[in-house]
Amino acid sequence: MSNIELIIFDFDGVIADSEYLFIKADRNAFAHAGIEMSEYDITHKFIGMDFDSISKSLINQYGAERTTKYTERMLTETERLIQSELTAVPHVVDFIENTKLPYFVASNGTTSKTQQKMATLKIEHLFEHVIIGTNSVKKPKPAPDMFKLAADKAGVAYDKCAVIEDGVYGIQAATTLNMKPIGFTGASHILDKHAQNLTNAGAILTFDDMSELHNILESL
């Protein structure tokens, strides 16, 4: 019998297999702006970080002009790739359609951007009124604000919440509230040793196949 009463999903890299599209867009945008950035650095520094924080970091390091060039190309490329290549993580829609547990989505993107991606995937009907974005809270991940809001809306104690995350920022946020952070490593962008990075951040376990999620939650 599971002790879990609420699931909180990250969106990009957990429900939508989208992070690798952001990496493709990033490579193009960084080159356009004259900023040298390896795929490893893109993945480990920026995956899971909200866009405002990325922009501030780049301004501090590279200046406003190059950051503006990066931002404009990044937004254009991301929109193009999402429309043409976005897919859902295998088995996650089946899980969501069949789970009896309540759930929220907590994304370091805005609610409107998440809704647009859901519409592209034709899964928006599964997430009415359960999306929390950066516009919903004062601070994005790694602050715990999003997860706290989800649990409070659901009326569930923090230690009864399972958080499914592919990024260290989300794992850190869940750990702050004594939730059950579970690291997902099955999306297309995952590099070697990422499971260890999630474990180091506080994940109680990692997995790479959404068809395993039901049994994982039952075991907690």
Residues 167-195: pLDDT tens digits? 999 999 999 999 999 999 998 777 778 89
Same domain assignment for residues 70 and 135: no
Same domain assignment for residues 72 and 111: no
Q: Check residue 6 and give its pLDDT.
A: 98
Q: In a 3-state reduction of DSSP, which class is residue 131?
A: strand
Mean pLDDT of the chain: 93
What single string gives the DSSP state of each residue in 7-54?
Answer: EEE-SBTTTB--HHHHHHHHHHHHHHHT----HHHIIIIITT--HHHH
pLDDT interval class at 220 (50, 70, 90):
very high
219: left (phi over 0), alpha (psi -120 to 50) or beta: alpha
Given 33, 58, 85, the domain boundary residue is 85
In percent, how much of the chain has pLDDT > 70?
99
pLDDT interval class at 20 (50, 70, 90):
confident
Q: Check residue 1 and give its pLDDT.
A: 57
Same domain assignment for residues 107 and 172: yes
Same domain assignment for residues 72 and 114: no
| Cα dihedral 54/43/48/112 (nearest 10) | 80
Given 85, 100, 132, the domain boundary residue is 85
CA distance from start to end of the chain: 8
Give 29-47 pLDDT, tens digit per residue: 899 999 988 877 777 777 7
Query: Which range is least confidently modeled, 45-54, 127-136, 183-192?
Result: 45-54
Give me the mean pLDDT over the 21-29 stretch.
Answer: 87
Q: Check residue 144 and give its pLDDT.
A: 97
d(CA 141, CA 171): 9
DSSP code of residue 71: H
Same domain assignment for residues 120 and 40: no
Query: Which range is least confidently modeled, 10-14, 96-100, 190-194, 214-218?
Result: 190-194
d(CA 4, CA 203): 16
In a domain, 61, yes or no: yes
d(CA 49, CA 67): 16
Same domain assignment for residues 118 and 202: yes
- pLDDT score of 17 more than 80: yes
Same domain assignment for residues 70 and 110: no
Indicate which CATH number applies to the domain containing 110.
3.40.50.1000
In a domain, 1, yes or no: no
What are the backbone dihedrals phi and psi of residue 104, each rounded to the nearest 5 degrees, phi first?
-130, 160
pTM over 0.75: yes
